[in-house]
Structure 1
Amino acid sequence: MEKLSLLLLRTLSEHDGFMTSKAAAAELGVSRKTVRRYAEEINQHQERYGCMIQAKKGSGLYLQITNEEAFQRRKEQASHNDDFVSRIIEFFIQEETYIKSEMLCERLFISQSKLSQELKKLRRILSHYQLSIQTKPYYGMKLSGSEFDLRRFMASNYLQRTHIKQLEEGTISEDTPSLLHQQIKAIVSSEFSQKAYPMSEAILNNLVNHLAIAVLRMQSGRYLDRNLPISGRTNDEQTLLGERIIARIEKECAVHFTEYERNYVLGQIVGKRVVPRNEKMTVSDEAAELVSKILKAIKESRQIDFSKDLDLQTMLMLHFAPLIDRIELGIELKNPLLNEVKVHCNVAYDLAIIAGQVIAKQFEKTISDHELSYLAMHFDVALNKKDSQTQRKYILVVNDLGRAANTFLKEKFEFYFRNYIKKVTVCNPYEFLQMIEEQEFDFIFSSIPLPYEGTIPVMNVDYFMQPDMIKKIEAALAAVFTEEVLLNYFKESLFICEQEFETKEAVLHFLCQQIKEQYSMPENFETLVFEREAFFGTDFLPSVAFPHPNALIGSETVIAVANLKKPVFWYKQTVRLVFLLVIAEQDHLKVKPLNDHLIKQCSSLDKVNKLAATTDFMTFINYLKE
């Protein structure tokens, strides 16, 4: 009952105005009488659901929210409980024969229209693995593609959830790896330890997952129909290691490896090896040249120069040694931290996309978001190192007590706030206006009132640094995004509320048009926004999306906000708040702190609810600076 009540709640929330019980019943696949029963359930527990359902004769049902926080919590619960795409794939993997849409609707308790929406999402996912959904009249649907690509897809999405869980149905819990998985891991771990072959636990698990899938597929009579070009990519030690693992799996799992299957195992071992840092001199010229091209492309596109970061260059070259083999062999290395990387390393992920474009051009093959996320982790370390060096501030201190007092104040600021300051400039009041015209400052401190109405934050200070004043100044310098700073980027004219859109494309087009009307943008501005979105959706956080162009453009950094009247499905979830970030070339050093601040502010569902609930621009800004 709870689950169906949540489905009704979500259905009504996505419908503007009244919805007839007949329409709601069709959407949920139940009778109108059942819909009325769910409505009564929600009305009887208004406090828990944060809403009530009004019924009006001749009009239908209407959702009235009584507690926004409780309602959003229940709505999110409904969304998380129904990962229909995952469940549809599970049916396809289990059956491997034609499945009729009527059966899926019945099993998933959804309508035909809802199934069509979910299949559209699934087709987009399958396209990344060269797979498709084959339909046949009167028979139904099934997955279509090569055995090799199907295994890649299964390993990336559903091994632990489906195949491994199925193997010992009823004898193990969902959270426990199957006996086959444990058996293969014991074999691989034993052989790798004997050869002192370096491999992290995450990569080891990834390799074991692929081998477990291979065994399961062979046991059911499904063998690879293509051979991996492994020749010349393995040395004698790797070949011997692979042969020993294959021999033990054949004996213990009662399965026979064909030549294609044997090369598949060798390819997995070669593509997932870890090159020790002390072996950096063995890195190929191809890997070194690729790193050089990527860093050059990043500098040209994002104005970030990593040419002197030898640590980054070394780590990338070590990473590219096995990555090049994986690209050539068509093997993917899954990153268990993929989703976390996309949220917390979003700027670095954009740099990884640039790297991916260079790789695609050189090898004529695209690499997956899992592979990009590994590159992003390397770039994030390098960006954090740069960030710690560049976030110190240029400050101006204004004082009217003469040269001796100026020297005194400068020494005080440099002593107490050295961790926050890059340079201190002290001037007299009559020099003030000329100073801010000639130089860029992040903060102004003054011992007297100033005739200034610009955007640089200003704080009045006492001549003598008392403990309370020191704490106030330190707090001001530590706060990267004050109200004044945010107002440099957010404009009330680009704060869009109460607008209704059907698709994310419509949202992006509208926001791009609004920005182009107010700011000078290149002709390909909107194209660049959609280009970035095509790599991977920017709905990093629940209910929030952060779209942006795939390049630094424009003469001024600006952020447009769409506070949507009705949630819109983005890439993997519905979105209520959209921040379209356009970063100017001269502000390239501000990209990461600005992104990090927005991500931090929107990581709390309570904060997102507060932001989405306000239509007042200054209230919105004040929430963002908290």
Structure 2
Amino acid sequence: MNLNKRQIQLILILVENKREPDYLPLSAKVLSRKVNVSTKTIYNDVAVIKEYINGFDVELIKKPRIGIYIQGSDKNLLKILTGIEFKKNDEYLDNETRRELVFSQLLNSDEFITIQDLSDKYYVNRQVILEDIDDIELRLKLLGLELQRRSGKGIKLDIDEDRRRKILTQVVSRQLFNAVPTINERNLKIINDNKLSISKNLITTVDSILSDFIKEQNMVLNDYEYQSLLVHLLIAVERIRLGKFINNNEHWGNSQIYLTESKILAKDLENALKVNFPKQEIYYIQLHLVAAGKKKANKISTNLNTNNLLQNYLNDFGYDDQLYEGLLLHISSSLNRWKLGVSITNPYKDSIIQKYNYAFEVAVHLKELYEQKYNTKINDDETAYLALHFEAYLERKRSNDNIVRTAIVCSTGLGTSQLLAARIKNDFTRVKVVKILSYDEYLKFDSEKIDLIISTIELPKNTKPTIYVSPVVSTEELKNKIKIAITTDKSPKDDYELFNSLISDKNIINANVDTWQDAIRVLGKLLEDNSILKDGSIESAIKRENLSFTSFKNISMPHANPKFVNKSQIGVLKLNNPIVWGDQMVSVVFFIAFKGDIQQKELDEIYDRFWDILSDDKLIKKIISDNDSKEISNLLKGR
């Protein structure tokens, strides 16, 4: 028998009340206040609950003018609680998941939705839904949008179809690819249906159609291009079923490139899903294929092979052949997207920006050069993918000789697996990555000479030690899993002396500001007064921030150009009231002021410690609640 969450909550209230030494029956009015519904709803719920608990050999008693209570032994009451706990684990949604689903519902609906509708659907009281709406409104505000509210009718999001789909793409990508690194039936089994705004059946069907289409058309898409196209098709099917189409009725440029293939893919979807793709939707598929698609055996163009812009940039940064060729291939496939203004969604963007801050910073300055050359705009999703190439190169630079022969397996053998390969080489000196395999290649692979398998997807059982990780697994988790698999005795660094030398209570300040620009100016002025920064650093940091916001969660990390730095330090601004910074509400600002002579090894040690701090939510909350500069300094230094 299925219970909704409100009914589960009522059972828990009644059971706990029964276990009190001097309990009294609870009236319907009292219960209605506890779960924020009408007494009529309580009586309806009581009828359902009565039937449910009869199976536990207890009885629900309802006496007029006295109240409602449960009668039965403690042993049987415990059985009820155990059964409820199983239901909670299987069906309850955490706040973040529920809010993503509510956001999806608002994006997918052109009609007003009432708070009560949402309360009933997600089995929580109205106050919880109101808090969800507050969170969603903040997100919309950061996007320059707002909810429409009508008394007696509810709430509604009124935006055009193109914008609606772009936001839906971000939401659906988070739902799918933050949970699992790739989508296939094996991985989808670990995601509950109630945590997805699109049904598993539709996801697997479209995934299968797209996979077959790519093979038949002899196309090559890397992991993130494939994921982006899959999400676009899923949303397109959902919206077309609702009779909602993109607004652009003109065939962009009347191009014939990939038009035939687009019609074939649309027809495959129509036949399998009983939907009709109008012309403008077929052209939109074409646009995505042009942006992402490549035929096999394509070579890098001569023009790109003599890419002076990239070469000159790498001459200053440092590179190896793998970095240069990897970036050339990536930029080759991305240029069409950049020129057409079509962006793919990167579900790992936030993790990449946070964990690989230095590599992302290098990528930001490279993308700035391409923006200037092609008069286009490259977003953070694309920039984060560029950062992976730089991070992989940095990891290769750190690596030593290895003796544990390792194969890496992911869905395609492309994209993020390259970063993972470089990272594991560094984390354990005994590890040597000898093969990177797609799932299909793995099924045919002779693992006789392999000691360890590291996979981002579920694999059939084998005789070799196998560990499963996300493509952006944390360094600590990666170390722990490999340590267990190969029984190594290497331990992570615990010496934070270098990082601590960059923190001083003299460079920590509390303030009220209205904008992120003001935050940089206030903190930059403090660092200038303390002779950490030179004149010009503040405007340089603001200019850098305009390229790509450094904010995530409730933190921001603006940078000073090394030429404006007298002494390497990290300044801290604790805001008394959070401010809008990009698409985040920020409460703590870390101003990164590093001189150009810091060695890569030192940067690695600094950022490793910095990441530990930034990922410690409890520590950040303590910093936010503390107004004393010395105390904040001690918290950052782990004292």
Q: Which residue of 2 aligns with 1:251?
A: 271
In structure 1, distance between residues paired with 2:636 and 2:147: 49
Mapping 1:87-166, distance limit 5 Å: 89-97=103-111, 109=127, 119=137, 121-125=139-143, 132-133=145-146, 143=157, 146-158=160-172
Q: Of the candidates 236, 241, 255, which is equivalent to residue 219 of structure 1? A: 241
In structure 2, distance between residues paired with 1:220 and 1:267: 22
Q: Of the candidates 187, 199, 219, which is equivalent to residue 221 of structure 2? A: 199
How many angstroms does 1:196 deviate by? 3.9
Cα pair 1:602 1:608 within 8 Å, conserved: yes
Show CA shifts across 1:397-429 (max 9, x none): xxxxxxxxxxxxxxxxxxxxxx9xxxxxxxxxx
Cα pair 1:228 1:263 within 8 Å, conserved: yes
Q: Does 1:321 align with 2:335?
A: no
How many angstroms does 1:213 deviate by? 1.6
Distance change >3 Å, CA 593–CA 284, structure 1 → 2: farther
Identity of aligned residues (%): 17
Cα pair 2:499 2:609 within 8 Å, conserved: no
Cα pair 2:207 2:230 within 8 Å, conserved: yes
How many angstroms does 1:107 deviate by? 8.9
In structure 1, distance between residues paired with 2:199 and 2:217: 25
How many angstroms does 1:327 deviate by? 2.0
Q: Of the candidates 516, 522, 526, which is equivalent to residue 510 of structure 1? A: 522
Q: Does 1:594 align with 2:616?
A: no
Distance change >3 Å, CA 570–CA 481, structure 1 → 2: farther
Q: Which residue of 1 aligns with 2:356?
A: 345
Cα pair 2:532 2:568 within 8 Å, conserved: no
Q: Does 1:365 align with 2:379?
A: no
Distance change >3 Å, CA 486–CA 179, structure 1 → 2: closer
State the number of aligned residues: 441
Deviates more, 1:267-276 or 1:612-621: 612-621
Cα pair 1:356 1:367 within 8 Å, conserved: yes
Show CA shifts across 1:24-54 (max 9, x none): xxxxxxx9xx9xxxxxxxxxxxxxxxxxxxx
Q: Which residue of 2 aligns with 1:495?
A: 508
Show CA shifts across 1:371-390 (max 9, x none): 1111111111123334569x
Q: Name the SS of the counterpart of 2:598 in structure 1.
A: helix
Mapping 1:278-427, distance limit 5 Å: 279=298, 281-283=299-301, 285=303, 287-288=304-305, 292-294=308-310, 296=312, 304-306=316-318, 308-386=319-397
In structure 2, distance between residues paired with 1:183 and 1:486: 50
Show CA shifts across 1:215-249 (max 9, x none): 22223222233245465673xxx555433222222
How many angstroms does 1:560 deviate by? 1.4
Cα pair 1:486 1:621 within 8 Å, conserved: no
Distance change >3 Å, CA 232–CA 596, structure 1 → 2: farther
With the length of structure 1 as denominator, give the TM-score of the two structures: 0.57
In structure 1, distance between residues paired with 2:353 and 2:342: 21
Q: Name the SS of the counterpart of 1:560 in structure 2.
A: strand
Q: Which residue of 1 aligns with 2:415?
A: none
Q: How well do the aligned residues superpose, as a CA RMSD in angstroms?
A: 4.8
In structure 1, distance between residues paired with 2:193 and 2:355: 34
In structure 1, distance between residues paired with 2:336 and 2:387: 19
How many angstroms does 1:101 deviate by? 11
Q: Does 1:260 align with 2:280?
A: yes
Q: Which residue of 2 aligns with 1:174?
A: 195
Q: Does 1:272 align with 2:296?
A: no
Cα pair 1:229 1:329 within 8 Å, conserved: no
How many angstroms does 1:190 deviate by? 1.7
Deviates more, 1:252-261 or 1:314-323: 252-261
In structure 1, distance between residues paired with 2:358 and 2:631: 27
Q: Which residue of 2 aligns with 1:392?
A: none
Cα pair 1:233 1:270 within 8 Å, conserved: no
Distance change >3 Å, CA 91–CA 214, structure 1 → 2: closer
Q: Which residue of 1 aligns with 2:559?
A: 548
Q: Does 1:184 align with 2:195?
A: no
Q: Of the candidates 205, 229, 232, which is equivalent to residue 210 of structure 1? A: 232
Cα pair 1:275 1:319 within 8 Å, conserved: no
Distance change >3 Å, CA 622–CA 144, structure 1 → 2: closer
Amino acid at match of 1:603: S
Amino acid at match of 1:267: L
How many angstroms does 1:515 deviate by? 0.6
- Larger gyration radius, structure 1 or structure 2: 1
In structure 2, distance between residues paired with 1:572 and 1:525: 24
How many angstroms does 1:368 deviate by? 2.0
Cα pair 2:137 2:147 within 8 Å, conserved: no
Distance change >3 Å, CA 189–CA 544, structure 1 → 2: same
The gaps in structure 2 that reach 5 residues or longer are 7-32, 37-93, 177-182, 184-191, 401-428, 430-489
Q: Of the candidates 62, 81, 85, which is equivalent to residue 95 of structure 2? A: 81
Distance change >3 Å, CA 84–CA 583, structure 1 → 2: farther
Q: Name the SS of the counterpart of 1:585 in structure 2.
A: coil
Q: Name the SS of the counterpart of 1:587 in structure 2.
A: coil
Distance change >3 Å, CA 102–CA 511, structure 1 → 2: farther
Cα pair 2:524 2:538 within 8 Å, conserved: yes
In structure 2, distance between residues paired with 1:275 and 1:611: 52
Mapping 1:576-615, distance limit 5 Å: 577-587=588-598, 589=600, 590-605=602-617, 608=620
Show CA shifts across 1:531-554 (max 9, x none): 4444554344x6654332366532
Distance change >3 Å, CA 335–CA 487, structure 1 → 2: closer
Distance change >3 Å, CA 543–CA 284, structure 1 → 2: same
Amino acid at match of 2:540: L
Cα pair 1:583 1:591 within 8 Å, conserved: no
Distance change >3 Å, CA 365–CA 568, structure 1 → 2: closer
In structure 1, distance between residues paired with 2:375 and 2:113: 35
Cα pair 2:579 2:587 within 8 Å, conserved: yes
Q: Name the SS of the counterpart of 1:185 in structure 2.
A: helix
Q: Name the SS of the counterpart of 1:317 in structure 2.
A: helix
Q: Name the SS of the counterpart of 1:561 in structure 2.
A: strand
Distance change >3 Å, CA 216–CA 81, structure 1 → 2: closer
Amino acid at match of 2:169: A
Q: Which residue of 1 aligns with 2:538?
A: 526
Show CA shifts across 1:552-578 (max 9, x none): 532221211345677777666666654
Cα pair 1:327 1:367 within 8 Å, conserved: yes
Show CA shifts across 1:469-514 (max 9, x none): xxxxxx9xx969653x446533332134xx3536573644432221
Q: Which residue of 2 aligns with 1:68?
A: none
Cα pair 2:142 2:584 within 8 Å, conserved: no
The gaps in structure 1 that reach 5 residues or longer are 4-30, 35-79, 165-170, 390-418, 420-474
Q: Name the SS of the counterpart of 1:339 in structure 2.
A: helix
Distance change >3 Å, CA 295–CA 592, structure 1 → 2: farther
In structure 2, distance between residues paired with 1:133 and 1:273: 36
Distance change >3 Å, CA 520–CA 174, structure 1 → 2: closer
Amino acid at match of 1:182: T
Q: Name the SS of the counterpart of 1:581 in structure 2.
A: strand
Q: Name the SS of the counterpart of 1:490 in structure 2.
A: coil
In structure 2, distance between residues paired with 1:588 and 1:504: 34
How many angstroms does 1:324 deviate by? 1.3
Cα pair 2:500 2:637 within 8 Å, conserved: no
How many angstroms does 1:588 deviate by? 6.7
Distance change >3 Å, CA 565–CA 151, structure 1 → 2: closer
Q: Name the SS of the counterpart of 1:586 in structure 2.
A: coil
